[in-house]
Amino acid sequence: MALTFACHGEPTPGLRPLATGLPQALEEQGYRYAPQDPAPRLVLNFVSTANPRPYRRRAQATFVLSLLEAPELPADPVSAMYPYLVRTLANMLLVYLPGREAHFFTLDLGHYSEAEGEGFFPRLVARIHPMASATLVIKNRFEPDLEPELWEGDALTRELAEAGRVLASWNLLPAPFPLDRILPPEDFRHVQRLYGIGGLSYGNLSVRKDAKRFWMSASGVDKANLRVIGRDILLVKDYDPQENCIVLSVPPHVEPRRVSVDAIEHWMIYREHPEVGAIIHVHAWMDGVPATQAHYPCGSYELARSVAELVRQAPDPAGAVIGLKNHGLTITGRSLRDILRRIEGRLVRQVPMT
pLDDT band at 220 (very low <50, low <70, confident <90, very high): confident
pLDDT band at 194 (very low <50, low <70, confident <90, very high): low
d(CA 322, CA 289): 6
Alpha carbon 169 to its chain's center: 23
CATH superfamily membership of 4-132:
CoaB-like (3.40.50.10300)
CATH code, residues 139-343: 3.40.225.10
> Which residues fall within 8 angstroms of residue 266, CB to CB, at 6 or more apart?
206, 214, 216, 236, 279
* pLDDT at 258 (0 to 100): 94
Alpha carbon 242 to its chain's center: 22
Residue 28 φ then ψ, to 5°: -65, -25
Give the C-alpha distances (Å, rounded to integers) separating 302 from 72, 86, 191, 268.
34, 24, 23, 11
Residue pLDDT, tens place only, 21-66: 999 999 999 999 999 999 999 999 999 999 999 999 988 889 999 9
* pLDDT at 181 (0 to 100): 77
Residue pLDDT, tens place only, 258-311: 999 999 999 999 999 999 999 999 999 999 999 999 999 999 999 999 999 999
Residues of CATH 3.40.225.10 domain(s) within the chain?
139-343
* 90 C-beta neighbours (distance < 10 Å), count: 26
Residue pLDDT, tens place only, 62-89: 999 999 999 999 999 998 999 899 999 9
Residues of CATH 3.40.50.10300 domain(s) within the chain?
4-132
